[in-house]
Structure 1
Amino acid sequence: MNMNIMKFNGQRLRDALQFRGKKMAELSRETGISRQSLSLYANEENVPPYENVQRIAKNLDFPSEYFLSEDKCTTVTTNTYFRSQAAAKKKEQNAQEKKLEYTAKMYEILLNYVDFPALHLTLPMGIYADADDVVNAEPEEMQEKIEKLTLSLRKAWGIGNAPIENMQFLLESNGIVMTGFRNVDDKIDAFSQKVHVKNGDSVYIVALALGKKPRERLRFDMAHELGHIMMHNWDESNEDLNREEFNAIERQANMFASAFLLPRESFGKMVSPYATNIEFYRSLKKKWGVSMQAMMYRARQLDIISVNQFQYMMRQISQKGWRTHEPGDVPGNLNSTIFQGAIDVLFDGGYLNARELVRAFRDAGIWLNTRDMEDLMGLKPGTLDAGPKILSIKPRIEPK
C-alpha cells in the first residue's frame, strides 16, 4: 500500500481483536471509545480521528501503522486442527488461529530469502476422506491401517523402528514447520494449520502450547498433529464437526501418535518381559521419550496386557499421585525453531540485518511489534532487536 495514501483499515481492527482474544465491548470499556464508534470503524463506515487510532493501538499493543496498512501476503490458510477443542473457549481458539496465520505470513516472506526443507510426505495421505469415515471405521481395521501407515512413514523417513531421538528435528527436516506459543489457554495442547504459499506449494505449521508440560507430552503432541496431517481431510472445517466426529478424529490422532512413537514390533518386544511392572516403565520412559501412561496404553492396545491388568496399573499410578506428574517429568520446550535457523543464516551471512528483515515484514503488511514476531516464530528474545551496532571485531593479525 502506498504510504502516502494510508487510510484506516477496518478489517485490521477485527483482526487485532481476534489476535488478542478481546471483544469489542472490552476495547470500548478500556479505551473510552463507544462501542458504536468502534463498530463503525471496523465496518469502515466512519474514519476514526488519529487520537482514537493511537488509543486503540496502545490498548491492543499493535503499532498504529498496523491499522493504516493492508495485507500484501498471498498465503492462504485452511482448516486448523486443535487438540482439546471441545473444552477450549472459542475466543481462545480464534486468537491462536489468527496468530498462526501471521506465522504463515512471515514464513512466506522468509521464503524469498531461504530454501526451507521440502515437504516430504510422499505416502498416501488423507486415508479418511471425511469425519463419517472415521466414525464408521471398524476399530480393528482402523488400528491395522494406522500401524501400517506409521511403519511406512518411519521407513520413508529412514528412522527404522528405533526410539525417536529428536521429534522436532525429524518433523522440521521433512518440511513440517514447528513453533510454540506461550500464554495459551491450558485447555489447548497443540494445533496445526495447512498453508498454501505463493509458489503453489503447501506447508503444514504445527504450534505447541508451551508452559509447564513435560517434554514427553510435547513429543506426543507433535506426533498427534502429524497424525492429523497424514490422515485427515484439511478441506473439511472443524466447525462442521459434531462432538462424536471430533472425538473420533482426536482418538485416531492419538492412536497414530502412539503407534508412530512406539512401533508395534520393537516396543512390543522390549516391554513384554515386565509389562505389568509399573517401575519397569520408568526405565522405558528414558529410552522412548514417552510417558509411562502412554506406554501402558500402548501395551494394552497391542494386547500385551489385559484390560484388568491395565486398569490395575492405572489405579497404582493414581495412588502414587502420578496421573499428572510422573517420575522424571521435566518441563519441555522447543529447540531452536526452523525460523531461528533461517534468520541466523541470513544475519550471520550478512544478507540482511534485523532492521531490514522487520522492514520486509512490514512492507508486506505484517505490522506486529517485534516481541510478537519473535514469539510467533519461536525466536530467542532480542533476535529482531534492530538497534544500531557501532562495534565490530578487528581482523585477526597473525604473529610474524
Structure 2
Amino acid sequence: MDKRIFNGKRLKNARLFRGLTLTELANRTDISKQSLSLYENEKNIPEHERVFTLASSLNFPYEFFFQKDVRETVTEVTYFRSLASATKMDRISQSVKLEYVAKVYEILLEFIDYPPLNLPEVSFDCSDDEFDEKSLEDAQEKIESIAKQVREYWGVGDAPINNLQLLLEKNGIIITGFNTFEDKIDAFSQRTSIDNEDRFFIAVALGKRPEGRIRFDMAHELGHILLHPWSESLDLITKEEFKAREKQANMFASALLLPKESFSNDVQAYPTDLNYYQYLKKKWHVSIQAMIYRSNQLGIITDNQFQYLMRQVSKKGWRKKEPGDTPYSLNENIFQGAIDLLVEENILSPTKILQVFKKNGITLHYKDIEELLHLREGTLFVEERRPQILQLRHSTDLDSGSN
C-alpha cells in the first residue's frame, strides 16, 4: 500500500491552475508566502489542517494533494493570441489547464479511437522582420499557397467552410473553449507529445465573442500549427519576431477562410459597399472587418478605400459589435462525443469515468473537468445516493400484524 505523502508539486500546479501568485494565495489562507514556497518545493510538509485550508481556498479535492503524477504531459511551447494584453500568470494558468485537457485526452485513448492527426507537409521559412516589405510579400505569397494546399488536402475546395471546428477535429486537432479570459486572451494552441506522437490542442475564448471572431481565432491558431516552430521558447524571441508571427497567422486565417479566387469573385461586385459586406458575412461566416482587410490585401480595394471603409465602420460603431453578431457557442466537441459514447455503450458510467480519471491522477471537481473539456453542464454529475437504512417487512409479518 502506497504511503500518503504530501505532493508539493501539486500545490504549485493547483495554484497556477487558479491563476494565483504566492502572495495572493498567502493573503487568502493566512499562510505565509515563505511557508507556501517551502511546501511547493517539498522542503517542508504542511500540517493536516493547513492542507484542508489550501484545498478549500483553491477549490481542489483534499486527496489531490497526496496523489502522485501518473502522467507527465510534455508541452514545449504555447502560442497565445492577444499576448500583449495578457499577464504572464494569465498565460501560465491557461497553459496548465490545457495540459490537463491533454492528460484527459491521453486517458481516454485507452477507450476511444480518435481521428489521427492529418496535416499536409508544408514548407514555410520566411523572415520574422515585420518591417521588411520584400519579406512580407514573400510571406504572403507562400501563405496563400499553403492555405490553398490545406483546403485541397482536406477536400473543401473554394467554398465557405461552414463548420471549421468539425473540420479541425476530423483531422486530429482537439478543440476546447474556456469562458473566463476577461478579454486578455482570444485563443491559444499547444503541442503535446503523447505516445511519441504530436497532438495539437486549440482553446478559444467564448463568452460574448461572435462567430466570425471565434472562427478566425481557430484559423489563426491553425496558422501557428502549420507555419511556426514548436521547439523554441517564445520568451527567447523578440517582440518584433512575435508580432511578425502573429501577422503571418492572421494572413493564413484570412487566406484559409476567404480563398483568393472565390472570395475575389464575390466581393468584386460591390467592394466598397458596407451593405454588401453584410450580405457576404452571412455566406462566408467571417467578420465585415476581416473581409475589408482581405479585399485590401488582395488589391481589390486601394489603401485609401480601405481606410475610408474602416472609418465608416468606426462611425457606425461596428468596431466591437457588427450587424449580425451573436455570441458563438462551440459545437459539442470530441470530448463530449467520447464521454457520450462510453456512457451510451455501457462501457463506463459517469461515476466510473471519474474513477478512471482519479486513478490516473486527475482528481478534480467534476465541474472543473466539464469546463476544461467544454462538456454539457451535468455530463459528469453523479448524484450522491443516501445509504438505505429502511426495508419492507416480510409479507408474513404484515399478515400477522393485521390479525
Shift of the alpha carbon at 1:317? 0.8
Shift of the alpha carbon at 1:17? 1.0
Q: Distance in 2 between matches of 1:83 and 1:223?
A: 12
2:175 paired with 1:186: no
Q: 2:398 maps to what in 1? A: none
**Residues 240-283 of structure 1, C-alpha deviations (whole Å, 9 max, x = no match):** 12110111000000000000000000000110010011110000
| 1:17-166 to 2 correspondences below 5 Å | 17-124=15-122, 127-128=124-125, 132=128, 138-166=135-163
- 1:251 pairs with 247, 251, 272, which one? 247
Matched residue type, 1:10: G
Matched residue type, 2:58: L
Shift of the alpha carbon at 1:338? 0.5
Q: 1:376 maps to what in 2? A: 372
Q: 2:203 maps to what in 1? A: 207
Q: 1:360 maps to what in 2? A: 356
Q: Distance in 2 between matches of 1:82 and 1:185?
A: 14
The 3 A distance-change label for structure 1 pair 25 and 255 is same
- CA RMSD of the aligned region, Å? 1.6
- 1:317 pairs with 313, 317, 340, which one? 313
Shift of the alpha carbon at 1:353? 0.7
Shift of the alpha carbon at 1:75? 2.8
Q: 1:393 maps to what in 2? A: none
Q: Distance in 2 between matches of 1:9 and 1:346?
A: 32
- 1:217 pairs with 213, 232, 243, which one? 213
Shift of the alpha carbon at 1:132? 4.4
Q: 2:323 maps to what in 1? A: 327
Classify the secondary structure of the residue corresponding to 2:269. Answer: helix
Q: Distance in 2 between matches of 1:128 and 1:224?
A: 18
In the alignment, structure 1 segments of 5+ residues that lack a partner are 391-400
Give me the identity figure in percent.
Answer: 51
Q: Distance in 2 between matches of 1:62 and 1:181?
A: 19
Matched residue type, 2:138: E
The 3 A distance-change label for structure 1 pair 262 and 200 is same
Q: Distance in 2 between matches of 1:45 and 1:228?
A: 40
Shift of the alpha carbon at 1:33? 1.6
Shift of the alpha carbon at 1:389? 8.5
Q: Distance in 1 between matches of 2:172 and 2:286?
A: 23
Q: 2:268 maps to what in 1? A: 272
Q: Distance in 1 between matches of 2:292 and 2:118?
A: 31
The 3 A distance-change label for structure 1 pair 67 and 162 is same
Classify the secondary structure of the residue corresponding to 1:245. Answer: helix
Shift of the alpha carbon at 1:25? 1.5
In the alignment, structure 2 segments of 5+ residues that lack a partner are 387-403
Classify the secondary structure of the residue corresponding to 2:268. Answer: helix
TM-score (norm 1): 0.93
